[in-house]
Chains A and B, each alone.
Chain A
Amino acid sequence: MRITQNMLTTASTNGLATSRGRFNRSLEVLGTGKRVRKPSDDPSGTRDILRYRSRIASLSQYQDNTAAGKSRLEVADASLTMVDDLLHQARSIAVEYPDGYDDATRQTAAEAVKDIYDQVRDMANMRHGDQYIFAGHRSDQPPVSRDDAYNATWSGDEGDVRTAIGDGVQASLNAGGENPFRTDDGTLVFDTLRNIIDGLEAGDPSAVSAEVDALDDAIEQVRGVQGQYAATYDRLQSTETHWRKEQLNMETLLADTENADLNEAAVDLQLQQIAYESALSATSNIISQTLLDFLK
């Protein structure tokens, strides 16, 4: 076989370019720490990477949603605990009154129930962020207001407030819109309280006693709704934990697919460097020799 100068130089140049290219690639992998830097580096890996990333983005959104939902439920739960407490105070007053208050005590008791009324109202008008949490979908307005005669107007609706906690899975953050301040027979707790105030002010013990059952129903209603909130809270809690674990898994998968194994990359770089240096030294030996060196 004839070997010409051109063959030698072409072969040497190509060899050098190839070694240099591999060397550079190893260096790049080590420098960026990434195994996949463009789709063609690993097309199916790229597909996986994008899927993991989309999944991680939705999982972290679900966790944001559950966290926000939990915070809203915490506020709602604290309010209802307070309401429960206040209604019990009102109940004690209503139960004690028929045992014979004098006029002064009766007036004080009426004032106390008025305070309770307003505190329950404030709880019902509780906000989380800029939303009135017990107003259903009418969340931009305080759901309850009263006139001077303690007649309450409920302007909220029973709209279900939901949040996404998974693909196509939603949780209701207000017990499906159930109003904790209105019992199943349609009685608003504020009307019950007003009747007690009126009874106390008018000195009518039977009117006051008649409301004790209604108060019991109201307390029952508050506790029922609170129980549903607690169940939702637990659900959000466990969902959040689940998503956090899955997100960790996804992040591990993403890192495995996307990132280079640094030990491997370092060894590879060494090998490529040796290969490149060998190619350089071989080339320098080959191309410098011709017959001319030996002809005198």
Chain B
Amino acid sequence: MSTFSSILNIGRSALQTQQKAITVTGNNIANVNTPGYTRQRVELANDVAVDSTPGQMGGGVKVTEVRRLYDRFITGEIRGESQELGEWEARKQVQDRLEVVFNETDDDGLNKAMSEFWNAWQDLAENPGGTVERANLVSRAQDMTDRFRNMADDLDSIASEVEGRIDQAVSDINETALEIARLNKDIRRAENLGQTPNDLKDQRDEALKKLSGLADVSVSENGSVIDVTLGGETLVDGDTAWELSYDGSDFAVTDPGSGTSTPIAHDDIDSGTLGGLLTMKNDVIPDYRNRLDDMALTVINEVNAQHAAGRGLDNTTGVAFFDSATATPAADMRVSQNIVDDPRLIAAAGAAESPPGGSGNALAIADLAYRPTMSGGTETFSDYYTGLVADVGNDTRGADSRYELQQTSMMQLEAYREEVSGVSLDEEMVNLVQFQNAYAAAAKLISTTDEMLDTLVNMV
């Protein structure tokens, strides 16, 4: 049998519930622009019914759950995509820098310096005894060696910048891993208390997404916590974060409890910012650098060999034009100091010719310009170098378009995620009006009951 108190109880539960619903709606509205926020919805159910005659009467309404509207599949996809995006973003950034080193389109680069160097030998052949021609050759040669050295230096400084970024990525990874471990701990505690820590889960998803962008981590759910591995090794284990370390060449993760560390091979880190940076550090930059060195080495050796065969103005032979090649020929390429100090030593005359009129050796050196000396005797210096520049262009273009592609995929996934989890202000406004009306109606129920009670009391 119904009583006034049961009516009042129904009214009270209705007021409280609609108020909660309005709170959740308000929270959704407040977080409309929060990155990674997942919209929440109150799940309503009618409360325990009361037995009565002729049948059960409803006991009001209750909130069973404040639910995150969330698609686990898309969240996983986004993490995977973040790894690719992070990798290509890093590669694109470094590649753009590298392209500047090889930007020959303004016609003031190594290509031009080399052309001028070979042409200076032809000028010398025209007037082999000429002081002006000799001085000009020395300065053209110095221009060329300067270009080689500058390019080698630029590549080195980009390489050390990449090294710095790797350090930064490692410290970001550690920071994010600590955050995930802390959130794991908080979420577990909240769930043990029977709470639904929706906001903490949003934060953890966001942190996992960030971590995925940094390196190719694998994620596994383990009850209320999420464990993370990097390159197959533990990074987050429940509420403990292992520390990733990098000593300039090798990676390792260290268990903060036992202090044992496990190495991670470079090959096991192949995506995310860290993976992208490692590809640049280990493959791309050394490749460009080796090809530049290769070219410098061949120029030095070919010119020196031919030069030593000729005669200088004072009949000396066997003089080197460039300093002998070191282990890093491009970075150390220099015109021999003897030649700079005394350009008369430049051997323009051939072995069988008399200085100062003999020009056979100068012509032979000028001939090196179009002789196939590179790539096992198949390419000229110019072919080889233009090939290198074109490859840099291709790599840069490739990285740019991969990055754009990843951005597009990421945007599509984010749009899917938004579709499920994003806050729509229109929807929230409708909900707000709906809950507000219900609240007003529940209040009316209570005042009506109050009037009924009044009527009853006055009747007595």
CA distance A78 to B424 in the complex (A): 95
Give the number of residue pairs across the A-B interface with Cβ within 8 Å: 183
Choose among A37, A54, A163 the residue that contacts B105 (Cβ–Cβ < 8 A).
A37
CB contact between A54 and one of B111, B353, B397, B400 (< 8 Å): that residue: B111
Shortest Cβ distance from A137 into B: residue: B357
How distant is A171 from chain B, measured CB to nearest CB, in Å? 11
In A22-70, the 8 Å CB interface with B consists of 34, 36-44, 46-47, 49-51, 53-54, 57-58, 61, 64-65, 68-69
Question: Residues 156-178 of chain B: 1 if any A CB is under 8 Å from the residue's CB, otherwise 0?
Answer: 00000000000000000000000
Closest-by-CB residue of A relative to B393 is A39
Interface residue? B152 (CB, 8 A): no
Which residues on A sit within 8 Å (CB–CB) of B116?
Answer: 57
A residues within 8 A CB of B114?
54
Q: Is B119 an interface residue (CB 8 A)?
A: yes
The answer, among A44, A54, A258, for a CB contact under 8 Å with B115, is A54
A208 contacts the other chain (Cβ, under 8 Å)?
A: no
Counting chain B CB atoms within 10 Å of each CB, the highest count among A1, A39, A170 belongs to: A39
Task: Tell me if B427 and A2 are in contact (CB < 8 A).
Answer: yes
Q: Out of A6, A130, A167, which one reaches B129, CB within 8 Å?
A: A130
Give the size range of B's interface with the partner. Answer: 35 or more
Per-residue CB contact flags for chain B residues 395-430 toward chain A (1 = under 8 Å, else 0) read: 011001000000000010011001110111111011
Q: Scoring B residues 78 to 109 as 1 if CB is less than 8 Å from chain A, else 0, what string do you get?
A: 00000000000000000000011011110100
Binds A, one of B19-27, B228-236, B383-391, B447-455: B383-391
Q: How far is the CB of B352 from chain A (nearest CB, A)?
A: 9
Contacts of A57 in B (CB 8 A): 112, 115-116, 119
Q: Is B337 an interface residue (CB 8 A)?
A: no
Q: Is the CB of A38 within 8 A of B425?
A: no
Docked-complex contact B418 and A139, CB < 8 angstroms = no
State the CA gap A157–B358 with chains docked (Å).
11
A4-B422, A50-B104, A129-B127 given; A170·B363 CB < 8 A = yes
Q: Pick the interface stretch among B180-188, B250-258, B320-328, B366-374.
A: B366-374
* A173-201 interface bits toward B, Cβ cutoff 8 Å, 1 = contact, 0 = none: 00000000000000000000000000000
Q: Is B349 positioned at the interface, with any CB of A under 8 Å from its CB?
A: yes
Contacts of B359 in A (CB 8 A): 161-163
Tally of chain A residues near chain B (CB < 8 A): 57
Chain A proximity of B181: nearest CB distance (Å)? 29
Given contacts A7-B419, A164-B366, contact A137 B358 (CB under 8 A): yes
Name A255-293 residues within 8 Å CB distance of B. Answer: 258, 290-292
**A100 within 8 A of partner (CB):** no
- Give the distance in Å from the alpha carbon of A5 to the alpha carbon of B123 in the complex: 70
Cβ contacts under 8 Å, A168 to chain B? 367, 370
State the majority secondary structure of interface residues on B.
helix
Chain B stretch 339-377: residues in CB contact (< 8 A) with chain A:
349, 353-360, 363, 366-367, 369-370
From B125, B353, B422, A7 is in contact (CB under 8 Å) with B422
Are the C-beta atoms of B425 and A291 separated by less than 8 Å?
yes
> A167 to B283, alpha carbons, bound, how many Å?
37
A108 within 8 A of B: no
Q: Which residues of A contact B126 (CB under 8 A)?
A: 65, 68-69, 163
B393 and A43 form a contact (CB under 8 A) = yes
A40-B99, A43-B393, A168-B370 known; A50 vs B415 contact (CB < 8 Å): no
Which residues from chain A contact B40 at a C-beta distance below 8 Å? none
- Confirm or deny: A136 has a beta carbon within 8 angstroms of a beta carbon on chain B: yes
Are the CB atoms of B357 and A140 closer together than 8 Å?
Answer: yes
Check A4/B130 contact, CB under 8 A, given A47-B386, A137-B358, A168-B370. Answer: no
Q: Which residues of A contact B105 (CB under 8 A)?
A: 34, 36-39, 46, 49, 258
Distance between Cα atoms of A220 and B114 in the complex (Å) = 46
- Contacts of B366 on A, CB cut-off 8 Å? 164
CB contacts (< 8 Å) of A54 on chain B: these are 111, 114-115, 382, 386
Instruction: Tell me the nearest residue of chain A to B313, going by C-beta.
Output: A140
Complex Cα distance A58/B115, Å?
7
A58 and B118 contact, CB distance less than 8 A: yes
CB-CB under 8 A for A39 and B103, given A50-B389, A162-B359: yes
**Which residues of A lie under 8 Å from residue B127 when comparing CB positions?**
129-131
Complex alpha-carbon distance, A36 and B105, angstroms: 7
- Minimum CB–CB distance from A68 to chain B (whole Å) comes to 5
CA distance A64 to B126 in the complex (A): 10
Given A7-B415, A40-B393, A159-B357: A291 in contact with B103 (beta carbons within 8 A): no
Q: Are B424 and A140 in contact (CB under 8 A)?
A: no
B394 within 8 A of A: yes
Q: In the bound complex, what is the Cα–Cα distance between A68 and B386 (angstroms)?
A: 31
A275 to B99, CA, bound (A): 30
User: Which residues of A lie under 8 Å from residue B394 when comparing CB positions?
Assistant: 40, 43
A51 CA / B107 CA spacing, docked (Å): 11
Q: Decide if A238 is an interface residue (CB 8 Å cutoff).
A: no
Residues in B neighbouring A258, C-beta threshold 8 A: 105
At the interface, yes or no: B279 with Cβ under 8 Å from chain A? no
* B433 located at the interface, meaning its Cβ lies under 8 Å from any Cβ of chain A in the complex: yes
Contact bitstring B26-62, A, C-beta under 8 A = 1, else 0:
0000001100000000000000000000000000000
| Interface residue? B392 (CB, 8 A) | yes
A5 to chain B, nearest CB (A): 5
Q: CA of A167 to CA of B368 in the docked complex: distance in angstroms?
A: 10
Tell me the complex Cα distance, A162–B357, Å. 10
- What per-residue 1/0 map shows which CB atoms of A125-169 lie under 8 Å from chain B? 000011100011111100000000000000001010111100110
The residue from B390, B414, B419, B430 contacting A39, defined by CB atoms under 8 A apart: B390
Is B122 part of the contact surface with A, judged by Cβ < 8 Å?
yes
In-complex Cβ contact of A46 among B104, B382, B430 (8 A): B104
Q: A-B pairs with the 6 shortest C-beta distances?
A: A39-B393, A137-B357, A43-B393, A139-B357, A4-B422, A40-B396
Q: Which residues of A come within 8 Å of B, CB atoms?
A: 1-7, 10-11, 14, 34, 36-44, 46-47, 49-51, 53-54, 57-58, 61, 64-65, 68-69, 129-131, 135-140, 157, 159, 161-164, 167-168, 170, 258, 290-292, 295
Given A43-B390, A46-B105, 8 other A-B residues pairs in contact with their CB atoms under 8 A: A2-B424, A39-B389, A46-B104, A65-B122, A136-B357, A137-B353, A138-B356, A139-B357
24 pairs across A/B with beta carbons < 8 Å? A2-B420, A2-B422, A4-B418, A4-B425, A11-B415, A38-B105, A38-B396, A39-B105, A39-B390, A43-B397, A46-B390, A47-B386, A47-B387, A50-B104, A57-B115, A137-B357, A139-B356, A159-B358, A162-B359, A164-B122, A167-B370, A291-B429, A291-B430, A292-B425
